[in-house]
Structure 1
Amino acid sequence: MAEVADRVTRVAADLIESAAAEGARQSRSAKQQLDHWARVGRAVSSHHTAARRRVEAVLAGEADPSSLNPEEGVVFNAEISAAVEEHLARADYGTMLAASGVTTVALDDDGRIVQYRPDGTSVVLDDTSS
């Protein structure tokens, strides 16, 4: 099998932190731990047993979660947790709230508190960076 070179990839900060902590316990670097988790996840996801089909049916809304045994429930919960985290990472809440007419406040890149209005305007509320 030909060796595939590593590629530069962005990884969520919380995963890097968890991988560093777990990797230290397992005598692995954070990268090695992430690689390990990815390989285990790939194997579990691609293993189409009856248990995996039951979990997929529940995820698709075709079966009730109470039909899963405890081990299947762990996989189901992990799938849901990963999906929620992925959705949260992609969501642009400022845009969604502005579309609903909601004014928001957030820190800008300079650490200032900025009010963002639904009409697209913004105003710095706390300019302590000066």
Structure 2
Amino acid sequence: MSRASQPTRLPPDVYESATAAAHIASRTVPQQIAHWARLGRELEMSPQVNHREVVRVLAGSGSYDALGKPEQAIVREEWASRISELRAGLNYEAEFAAAGESYSEADEGGDVIVHPAHG
């Protein structure tokens, strides 16, 4: 298998976004993903965007406020992506059950629902 055709796993949200964007741009999904990869590569190499500072902020060693508007937009998008990924992996119900703890939450109407400890 050539390098150009090696399978790659993508997060479901990226694939879904690529599918929607591909339809609008009259591309196949692989063409859309390749297009985005090229854009990302160019963005990282762009003299108008300080990629090094974006990386520093994402690593926690730089100041978000010191970034320009384009860099801030990139950081916000990355933060949103990371938060979504972290939230998708949370399962407090299982954690409370494993610890034998009860917990409370609000339902859609704002009423408190108490989940008793099991075990």
TM class by smaller structure = 0.5 to 0.7
Distance in 2 (CA, whole Å) between partners of 1:60 and 1:22 is 30
Q: Which amino acid aligns with 1:11?
A: P
Please report the TM-score for the alignment, with normalisation by the length of structure 2.
Answer: 0.63
Paired position in structure 2 for 1:11:
11
Within a 5 Å distance, the mapping from 1:105-116 to structure 2 comes to none
Residue 85 to residue 22, structure 1, CA distance change in 2 (3 Å): same
Residue 28 to residue 44, structure 1, CA distance change in 2 (3 Å): same
Distance in 2 (CA, whole Å) between partners of 1:69 and 1:8 is 33
Structure 1 gaps, min length 5:
105-115, 121-130
Q: Which amino acid aligns with 1:53?
A: R
Distance in 2 (CA, whole Å) between partners of 1:77 and 1:96 is 29
The alignment partner of 2:94 has SS state of helix
Distance apart, 1:69 and its partner CA: 0.4
The alignment partner of 1:63 has SS state of coil
Query: If each structure's helix is expressed as a fraction of its own residues, which one has the higher value?
Result: 2
Distance in 1 (CA, whole Å) between partners of 2:116 and 2:42 is 46
Residue 44 to residue 117, structure 1, CA distance change in 2 (3 Å): farther
Residue 48 to residue 31, structure 1, CA distance change in 2 (3 Å): closer
Within a 5 Å distance, the mapping from 1:68-107 to structure 2 comes to 68-98=67-97, 99=99, 101-103=101-103
Bigger mean CA deviation after superposition, 75-84 or 31-40: 31-40
Please report the TM-score for the alignment, with normalisation by the length of structure 1.
Answer: 0.59
Paired residues, number = 108
